[in-house]
Amino acid sequence: MGKGDHGRLTRSLGLRHVFALSTGAMLSSGLFLLPGIAAAKAGPAAVLAYLLAGLMAVPAMLSVSELATALPKAGGAYYFLERALGPAVGTVAGFGTWLSLVLKDAFAMVGMSAYLVLVLDVNATVLALVLIAMFTLVNVVGSKASASMQLALVVVVLGAMAWFIVEGLAETASRGFDGSNLDPFFTTGVSGITAVVGLVFVSFGGLTKVASAAEEVEDPSQRIPLGMALSLATATVVYTLGVLVTIALVPPDVLHGDLAPIHTAAQAVLPKIGVWLVVVAALAAFSSAVNAGILAAARYPMAMARDGLLPARMGALSRFGTPVVGVVMTGSAIALVVVAFDIESIAKMASAFVLLTLGLVNLAVLVLRASEIRSYAPAFRSPLYPFTQLVGMAISAYLIVRLGVSALVFVAIVSALGWAWHHLYATPRTDRAGAIRHVFRRWGRGADEALEREISAAMAGHGLRSVDDYPGLIARAVVLSVPAGTDITEAASRAAAVLSDRIGVSTERVTERFLETGSLWIQSSDDHPTATPVALFDAIQTDQLVIVRAAAGIRIPAAWGGSGELVNALFFLAGTSSDPGRSLRLAGELAGFLHSGARACGLATTEAEVKSSLLPGWAVRQYALLPEGRDAGLIGRRVGGLPLPDGVEVAAVTRFGVPLLVEDSLVLEPDDQLTIVGPEGVMPTPGDPAPVV
């Protein structure tokens, strides 16, 4: 993965990468190392602990999916919590989540050491440290290379485990319940199961890892929720059945002290090649977990540095476009934990912070929904709100308590250190409040109005979806020119008058909505800087755009979200309240074009040239359907029946100044204005008839 324009991470991770990152992060020590420890505490009923842990992770998965589709930014859970609950909680969550990922990856390296001694006669700890260095280097080179390797590793793991589970279930069935090691099933009662649920919850800690790379996912609106759901379902099934087979086949006196239990169980049902394949799968699983963990954890220091909670150099990107300081720091911390702590301590500490983070993530959804920030427009909304989030928070609190005093003390110490760091270092360097201030606005607490603009910008960063009609938005736009000396109030008044006619809302209300929303992107340019104000309306279903051009420039005051910038063009986008995500994505696409195309837009002399400058590689043509004109033959025809060349489409039809909904059944009438867009190579030159075949 390379670095995008302006030092931003680029989007190149697809659904398969999302699935691989999340699944690979979950299928490691929880499966290949932890079953023996879990069975020692809960007996055969440990299999229920894994199933319950997977089910209990569902509320957090739904909440993370909602937040990731609303705020697809690097930093994952930290970014969500900081923006929802404020910098103080964000600092604690950032340190804690990063540390939980480090602990989980160290746990994976301990398991990897146990399996490596089955293959190589070497010092496993030394080899583990060498492998940590290798994965660190891979993540410095690039996250797409890392994610592609992750996909290959996950395929190996799932293939080997499918063979093991099928053969193991057949052997278990042939032995029967009494002939296996499943009887007696409940050896420690319900209390033993609940205690183990908290311990094995670390197995599902990788669920949120992909959210930290959301800024690099193509179309995160669809791929993150689907990828996470598929991943959680797959991991729960593999864990439950894999642990069931292992407990059934391996005698308790062997299993409880075994650090390679899946290998031991495989020896009972698979041929030699199958046993070795399980060892390879285990090593692949541990490798994928560490790889995904470093990729995800490294984004936390970068995101915190962006916000001023850590020194700026910790957010620097390498020439490969990766957060090199965060990657190296994460790899070093994993190596330290591997050397310093025992297996159960690592598992408990990691589970404690996984649970705390997921509980706060559920709280973040409650806060952001209650804040009524209009630009908070997730493409996926968690069902059964707020009960899903309340249940998720209760699960986290209960399981943390069940982990014991040491885990609670660890959480308290790290939280205290994070809080102290925020007040001593970050407070003088940040001037931002979370969405919780919007909830408490009526209690006299000041809301951070800049937060809505930031959430809007994050939403716009999704990139266009296939259903977003960007060419149509540009084609039906109205272009106005204003004389020198026009201020932004006058420019907005003219744009509001046009939009008022189009959407049926008073001019005054249109202007108020643009001021209320505060969603403004300013595109700097040496010659032709521009700005994109955005407002959302209940009265419309189709986004509308008015372009106001001023050769002498219009100054943007603070009341409009600027800081005195002088711009040559204003792009007033009236979006739909029913689908604010689409409107913000369109605004983001428009702003993206203007970063490099502001000059071309500023120098355009006609409306068609303005629109063509906003559609690189496309051409826009407008035709007045006069009864005596050259395009009179189109009058009376249906839009869907026009024989247009491949790639050419009708983008807009205006009748008496009012844009119509473009449908195949729409019949063209005299004096309609027809707007067509298509690739430059097939579109006619200006002045020629419409390109009807």
User: What total of structural domains would you count in the chain?
Assistant: 3
In three-state form (DSSP H/G/I as H, E/B as E, the rest C), the secondary structure along 202-246 is HHHHHHHHHHHHHHHECCHHHHHHHHHHHHHHHHHHHHHHHHHHH
Is 156 part of any domain? yes
Q: For position 391, what pLDDT does the model report?
A: 94
Residues 483 and 535 in one domain: yes
- pTM for the model: 0.68
Going by C-beta distance under 8 Å and a sequence separation of 6 or more, which residues neighbour residue 38? Answer: 46, 49, 50, 196, 199, 200, 243
Q: Which residue has the higher pLDDT, 560 or 74?
A: 560
Phi, psi of 380 (to 5 degrees): -120, 130
Residues 581 and 646 in one domain: no
Going by C-beta distance under 8 Å and a sequence separation of 6 or more, which residues neighbour residue 249? Answer: 168, 171, 172, 180, 181, 265, 268, 269
pLDDT bracket for residue 4 (50, 70, 90)? very low
* 241 pLDDT above the threshold of 90: yes
Residues 275 and 356 in one domain: yes
Residues 537 and 638 in one domain: no
Look at residues 558, 576, 608 and tell me which one is the last residue of a structural domain.
608
Residue pair 263/9 in contact by the 8 Å Cβ criterion: no
Is 120 part of any domain? no
Report the pLDDT averaged over residues 89-118.
Answer: 79
Q: Which residue has the higher pLDDT, 500 or 520?
A: 500
Pairing of strands 530-537, 544-556: unpaired
Single-letter amino acid, residue 38: A
Residues 590 and 627 in one domain: no
Provide the 10 A C-beta neighbour count for residue 222. 18
> Which tens digits make up the pLDDT trace of 310-358?
887 776 676 666 777 778 888 888 888 877 777 777 778 888 888 888 8
Share of the chain above pLDDT 90, in %: 7
Q: For position 444, what pLDDT does the model report?
A: 41
Residues 89 and 233 in one domain: yes
* 7 pLDDT above the threshold of 70: no
Look at residues 366, 396, 424 and tell me which one is the last residue of a structural domain.
424
Residues 576 and 481 in one domain: yes
Token match 């100044």: residue? 657
Provide the 10 A C-beta neighbour count for residue 398. 15
* 530 pLDDT above the threshold of 70: yes
Residues 94 and 226 in one domain: yes
Q: Which residue has the higher pLDDT, 17 or 517?
A: 17
Look at residues 569, 585, 608 and tell me which one is the last residue of a structural domain.
608
**Backbone conformation region of residue 122, classed left if phi is above 0, alpha if psi is from -120 to 50, else beta:** beta
Highest mean pLDDT among 302-316, 502-516, 552-566: 502-516
Is 310 part of any domain? no
Pairing of strands 618-624, 673-679: antiparallel
Is 258 part of any domain? yes
Cis upstream peptide for 580 (omega within 30°): no
The string of DSSP letters for 449-496 reads: HHHHHHHHHHHHTT---TT--HHHHHHT-EEEE--TT--HHHHHHHHH
Residues 233 and 91 in one domain: yes
Torsion of CA 185, 168, 163, 110, to 10 degrees: 50
- For 474, the domain range is 463-608
Is 138 part of any domain? no
pLDDT bracket for residue 9 (50, 70, 90)? very low
Token match 């247009």: residue? 644
Q: For position 244, what pLDDT does the model report?
A: 93
pLDDT bracket for residue 390 (50, 70, 90)? very high
Residues 377 and 254 in one domain: yes
Residues 353 and 498 in one domain: no
Is 136 part of any domain? no
pLDDT bracket for residue 392 (50, 70, 90)? very high
Residue pair 375/452 in contact by the 8 Å Cβ criterion: yes
CATH number for position 372: 1.20.1740.10
How many angstroms separate the Cα of 32 from the Cα of each of 112, 182, 247, 290, 586? 9, 19, 12, 14, 46
CATH number for position 533: 3.40.930.10
Q: Which residues pair with 436 in a beta bridge?
A: none
pLDDT bracket for residue 430 (50, 70, 90)? low
Residues 568 and 623 in one domain: no
Is 399 part of any domain? yes
- Length of the chain equals 693
Is 613 part of any domain? no
Q: Cβ-count burial of 256 within 10 angstroms (0-12 exposed, 13-18 middle, 19+ buried)?
A: middle
Residue pair 429/97 in contact by the 8 Å Cβ criterion: no
CATH number for position 633: 3.30.70.1450
